[in-house]
Chain A
Amino acid sequence: MTVFVSRDKINSGFTSKVQRLADQNLMSCYQCGKCSAGCPMAAYMDIPPNQMIRLAQLGMEDELLDSEAIWLCVSCMTCNTRCPKGVRIAELIESMRQIKLRARQDHLQVEKISEADLRAIPPIALIGSMRKFTS
Chain B
Amino acid sequence: MKLSYFPGCTLKNHARNFEDSTLYAMDKLGVEAVELDRWNCCGTVFSLSADDLMRQVAPIRNLLRTRERGDSQLMTGCSMCFNTLKRANNRARANEEDLASMNTFMYDEPVDYAGDVDVLHVLEVVRDQIGFDAIRERVVKPLEGLRVACYYGCMLVRPNEAAIDDAENPRVLEDLITVLGGEPVDFSHKTECCGAHQTVDKPEIIADKTYEILGSAKAQGADTVAVSCPLCAFNLDHRQEATLKIHSDFHTMPVVYFSQLMAIALGGSESVLRLDLHHTPPGPLLTGKGLL
Binding site for B on A (CB under 8 A): 20-23, 40-41, 44, 72, 74-78, 80-81, 88, 90-91, 94-95, 98, 108, 113, 117, 120-129, 131-133
Q: In the complex, what residues of B have CB within 8 A of residue A126's CB?
A: 200
- Which residues of B pack against A, CB within 8 Å? 8-10, 13-15, 41, 43-45, 47-52, 78, 80, 154, 158-160, 167, 191-193, 195-201, 205, 209, 229-231, 234, 238
Q: Which residues of A contact B45 (CB under 8 A)?
A: 75, 128, 131-132
Whether the pair B200, A113 counts as a contact (CB closer than 8 A) is: yes
Q: 5 other contacts beyond A74-B195, A121-B199, A125-B196, with CB at 8 A cut-off? A: A20-B50, A41-B193, A94-B48, A123-B13, A129-B199
With CB as the reference atom, state the residue of chain A lying closest to B46. A75
Are A94 and B159 in contact, with the CB atoms below 8 A? no
Contacts of B14 in A (CB 8 A): 122-124
Q: Which of A40, A44, A123 contacts B10 (CB 8 A)?
A: A123
| Contact assessment for B49 and A98 in the assembled complex, using a CB-CB cutoff below 8 Å | yes
A81-B193 contact in complex given A72-B198, A108-B200, C-beta closer than 8 Å: no
CA distance A23 to B95 in the complex (A): 14
**Given contacts A81-B160, A122-B234, is CB(A76)–CB(B193) below 8 Å?**
yes
A74 near B48 (CB under 8 angstroms)? Answer: no
Interface contact A124-B230, CB-CB below 8 Å: yes
* List of 4 A-B pairs having minimum Cβ-Cβ separation, nearest first: A23-B50, A77-B158, A76-B193, A128-B197
Across the interface, do A129 and B200 meet the contact criterion of CB distance under 8 Å? Answer: yes
Query: Which single member of A20, A78, A117 contacts B51 (CB below 8 Å)?
Result: A20
The answer to whether B154 and A77 have CB atoms under 8 Å apart is: yes
Number of A-B contacts (CB under 8 A): 120
Least distance between A111 CB and chain B CB atoms (Å): 13
Bound-state CA distance A129–B202 (Å) is 11
The B contact surface, by secondary structure, is loop
Alpha-carbon distance between A36 and B200 when the two chains are bound, in angstroms: 24
- Give Cα distance in the complex from A128 to B63, angstroms: 21
Q: Which residue of A lies closest to B195 (CB)?
A: A74
A127 nearest CB neighbor, chain B only: B44
Report yes or no: A124 in contact with B193, Cβ–Cβ below 8 A: no
A121 vs B10: C-alpha distance in the bound complex, in angstroms?
10
Contacts of A125 in B (CB 8 A): 196-197, 199-200, 231, 234
Docked complex Cα distance between A88 and B46 (Å): 14
A113 to B159, CA, bound (A): 31
Do B49 and A123 touch across chains, with their CB atoms under 8 A apart? no
Closest chain-B Cβ to A53's Cβ sits at a distance in Å of: 15
Smallest CB separation, B52 vs chain A (Å): 8
> Which partner residue on chain A sits nearest B50 by CB separation?
A23
A22 with B44: CB separation less than 8 A: no
**Chain A contacts for B238, CB-based, 8 A:** 120
Interface centre among A22, A44, A76, A77 (most CB of B within 10 A): A77
